[in-house]
């Protein structure tokens, strides 16, 4: 199947034009005229993952492998080491990052994973009703996302309305109009800001909240006339 056909399908599903201005989604490695035999879906790309990918394949990731401009290609360091292996194996790459957050991933995690119904979408932010204690909300999050320990900054013991942004959404704190905000990678001063603004926050992890990218996208690709394989990179963090 030609990459152009797959790209056009993805662009119709989640237009690349919706990505944030600082993002780098789209076709990052390869040519639209190339033909591929397999599609692999993953949150990221690491060395272990790329070693297992078949030659002449297309990888679709959530996070772009090439994010900022590369001033040199040094095969001994990331991401040049990964790019070298991909070129050698004729592996192409499309990334769907903030455009897919905007159209699909935030809602999918809220409704299909956490089990809440989205009642309002404001740009990247999905809002939903909880009407339970903060403790009950946290227990549900831990169960559904497979997280043993949550980092929280509690303000309200009872949560009526909640907001969520998967990945890293701490910069959006000023825009949140809810009792509680779920996202990942909260910084210390963001937690202070949220507390002073009367907003409880729950850090649901960057990897943990976005690892469902492949699962979400797979439902739209499963009928393609080639094999689509759902895989994933490893979480770079471990907990002890």
Cβ atoms of residues 169 and 150 within 8 Å: no
The pLDDT value given to residue 93? 98
Which stretch, 71-75, 130-134, 222-226, has highest mean pLDDT? 130-134
Mean pLDDT of 152-162: 97
Over pLDDT 90: what percentage of the chain?
95
* pLDDT, mean of residues 31-42: 97
Q: Based on the domain organization, do 69 and 106 belong to the same domain?
A: no
Tokens of 50: 């790329």
Look at residue 239 and tell me whether its pLDDT is greater than 90.
no
- pTM to 2 decimals? 0.96
Same structural domain for residues 107 and 201? yes
Tell me the per-residue pLDDT of 59-104, one tens digit each, with 9 for 90 and over. Answer: 999 999 999 888 899 999 999 999 999 999 999 999 999 999 999 9
Round to whole Å and give the CA distance between 15 and 56.
25
In a domain, 238, yes or no: no
Q: What is the CATH number of the domain that holds 20?
A: 3.40.1390.30
The whole-angstrom separation of Cα 6 and Cα 32 is 9
User: For residue 133, what is the enclosing H or E element?
Assistant: strand 125-133
62 and 127 share a domain? Answer: no
How far is residue 96's CA from residue 94's CA, in Å, rounded to a whole number? 7
Mean pLDDT, the chain, rounded, equals: 96
* Domain encompassing residue 76: 3-99+211-230
Q: Are residues 49 and 140 in the same domain?
A: no
């Amino acid at each position: 199947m030609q990459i152009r056909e797959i790209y056009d399908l993805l662009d119709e599903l989640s237009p690349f034009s919706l990505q944030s201005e600082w993002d780098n989604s789209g076709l990052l490695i390869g040519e639209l005229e190339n033909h591929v035999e397999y599609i692999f879906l993953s949150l990221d790309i690491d060395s272990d993952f790329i070693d297992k990918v078949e030659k002449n394949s297309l990888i679709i990731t959530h996070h772009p492998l090439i994010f900022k401009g590369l001033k040199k290609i040094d095969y001994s360091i990331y991401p040049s080491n990964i790019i070298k292996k991909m070129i050698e194996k004729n592996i192409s790459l499309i990334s769907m990052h903030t455009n897919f957050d905007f159209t699909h991933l935030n809602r999918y995690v809220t409704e299909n994973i956490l089990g809440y119904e989205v009642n309002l979408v404001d740009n990247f932010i999905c809002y939903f009703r909880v009407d339970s204690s903060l403790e009950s909300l946290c227990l549900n999050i831990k169960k559904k996302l497979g997280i043993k320990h949550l980092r929280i900054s509690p303000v309200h013991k009872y949560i009526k309305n909640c907001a969520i942004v998967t990945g890293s959404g701490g910069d959006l704190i000023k825009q949140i109009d809810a009792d509680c905000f779920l996202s990942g990678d909260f910084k210390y001063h963001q937690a202070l800001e949220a507390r002073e603004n009367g907003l409880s926050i729950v850090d649901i992890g960057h990897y943990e909240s976005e690892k469902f990218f492949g699962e979400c996208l797979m439902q739209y690709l499963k009928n393609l006339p080639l094999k689509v394989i759902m895989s994933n990179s490893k979480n770079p963090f471990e907990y002890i």
